[in-house]
Amino acid sequence: MYASAYVDTVMKPIVEGTPAFIKDTTDFLLAIGEVKHNNQGYLATGDVASLYTVIPHTDGLKALKHHLDKRDDQNPSTSCIVRLAELVLTLNAFEFNNQFYQQVSGVAMGTKMGPTYADAFMAYLEEKLFERKPHPPSTVYKRFRDDIFIFSADNVDTFTNLAEELNGMHPNIKIEFNQGRSLPYLDTVVTMTNDSLKTTVYYKPTDSHSYLLYTSHHPRNTRDAIPFSQFLRLRRICSEEEDFLEKGREMKEFFRGKLYPNRVVEAAFNRVKIIPREVALQQSNRTTEEKLPFVLTFNQIGQATMGTIRELYKDTIGQDAELKRIFPNVPTAAYRRPKNLRDLLVRARLNQERREPHPYPGTIPCNVKKMPYM
């Protein structure tokens, strides 16, 4: 685990500097925000089939070595990072139902370096392809992991050749493309207008908008922040004001269906409504403070414990100038999530014991108003 995290730390800045890399939806919107066209060209999106599991170890490690060798600072050495990555790839084992398995190809989905490793492999193939056959300056080629976005001002007939070249980058890489003037990409829908690209929010057909219930046992500031974050997401994605207002009204109903108080929803929407889209799209540079928090489970006991700790700090350290100089920060809590139903019910090791059937099978209403889904 630690080796994988270390490889990821070294490789991530390198991968983020590759031409096609997209960090998130905001990064994508900034990349296409200045695109202009004369109502000609095409949009295309592509999905790389089973990217994580089809990368041969030899080719993946070759891609890592290629990127690492181009560093100005060769510390840590390329051979060290490649060897660590090789150990992560070849020593991946897991247990299920008292049987042990070892993964022999691809990269594990859950390992820390997995996304960066897949990005590095695709960036290596793209670099080699576009060195041989550069795409025109009027073409925008971006990729988020295994999702490819292409805009080109060229004739739509050139798309077939580009799709064939991308599918020929590697024997294991198979990309399914869609082409048109309006296509979904990530959580957006991109549409070619007369001279630019318009974006709006995209929901998958299976999206049930299962936001956290307001009655759920979570910190209140966590629950109150969810509507604001979702309205801010709409502000970034919706390129036209009328579309933002319409999608905002729709989002309000989603939250009301999850029992969010109207005052919380309206306050969040009104805060976002006055933020210009250009400001919402600005990448934030977060600063981290060096604090040592108390790690507690979020429950009544944990909350009461933290309250006691703060009171003790105020009554002891807070009253002594020298101690306050040494310990200037009021104690903060980092709450861990308690076990939920999934943690209690899902496990890799199955229970082989046969239990007697319950005398009253089914569900029983708990008659508690604040827990309507129990």
Per CATH, the number for 2-201 is 3.90.1850.10
47-77 tens-digit pLDDT:
999 999 999 999 999 999 999 999 999 999 9
User: Among 44, 180, 69, 195, which Cα is nearest to 120's?
Assistant: 69
For residues 189 and 360, the model is more confident at 189
Q: Look at residue 34 in the predicted model and tell me its pLDDT.
A: 85
Separation CA 305–CA 311 (nearest Å): 10
Q: Which residue has the tokens 């139902």?
A: 97
92-108 tens-digit pLDDT:
887 777 788 888 888 88
Q: Would you state the structure tokens that stand for residue 80, as one six-digit string?
A: 């060290």
For residues 1 and 177, the model is more confident at 177
Q: Is the pLDDT of residue 371 over 60?
A: no
Q: Look at residue 373 in the predicted model and tell me its pLDDT.
A: 46
CB atoms within 10 A of CB 364: 7
Q: Look at residue 107 in the predicted model and tell me its pLDDT.
A: 87
Provide the angle, in degrees to the nearest 10, between the axes of the packed helices 2-16 and 57-69: 60
Domain range list for the chain: 2-201, 220-280, 294-338
Angle, vertex CA 271, rays to CA 270 and CA 274, nearest 5 = 85
248-277 tens-digit pLDDT:
999 999 999 999 999 999 999 999 999 999
Read off the pTM.
0.84
Omega within 30 of 0 (cis) for the link into 76: yes
Q: Look at residue 365 in the predicted model and tell me its pLDDT.
A: 67
Contact 326, 318 (CB under 8 A): no
Please, where are the H alpha helices in 277-335? 277-280, 300-315, 321-326
Contact 37, 195 (CB under 8 A): yes
Q: Look at residue 340 in the predicted model and tell me its pLDDT.
A: 84
Q: Is the pLDDT of residue 218 over 60?
A: yes
